[in-house]
Amino acid sequence: GQQLNQSPQSMFIQEGEDVSMNCTSSSIFNTWLWYKQDPGEGPVLLIALYKAGELTSNGRLTAQFGITRKDSFLNISASIPSDVGIYFCAGQTTFMNRDDKIIFGKGTRLHILP
């Protein structure tokens, strides 16, 4: 079945550092989504990408839809303590189909060292 490989699994960084994580697949996706999940909460949508090559920002977050449509990355600039959490990528294979479903990566757990 389709799988998303998300890396790294976890990251330990200093406050103020930039962060980069990515998702890859052997399958082509038409939509990429990035979510963040805080402890004890559900995932919250950060950025949605709909077009190959698209680069979208949301504050200090920037995500790109890879040209091959098989990958996406998320960058966080100048990390702050509230960035701690688990970041999930998600891909959707077809567009405007009632039977679509999202496939999620296993997540990247971000830790910020004091």
Partner 1 sequence: ETGVTQTPRHLVMGMTNKKSLKCEQHLGHNAMYWYKQSAKKPLELMFVYNFKEQTENNSVPSRFSPECPNSSHLFLHLHTLQPEDSALYLCASSQLGGLAYEQYFGPGTRLTVT
Q: Which residue stretch of 15-23, 29-37, 52-60, 63-71 sits at the interface with partner 1 (rule: CB under 8 A)?
A: 29-37
Asked if 28 is part of the footprint of partner 1 (rule: CB under 8 A), the reply reads no
Helix (H) or strand (E) holding 43: none
The answer to whether 89 and 105 are in contact (CB under 8 A) is yes
For residue 28, give every residue at least 6 positions away whose Cβ sits within 8 Å of its Cβ, in sequence order, or none: 68, 69, 70, 93
Number of amino acids touching partner 1 (CB under 8 A): 27
Neighbours of 70 (CB within 10 A): 16
Smallest separation (angstroms) from partner 1 to the CB of 32: 10
Chain residues binding partner 1 by CB under 8 A are: 4, 31, 33, 35, 40-45, 48, 50, 88, 90, 92, 95-96, 98-107
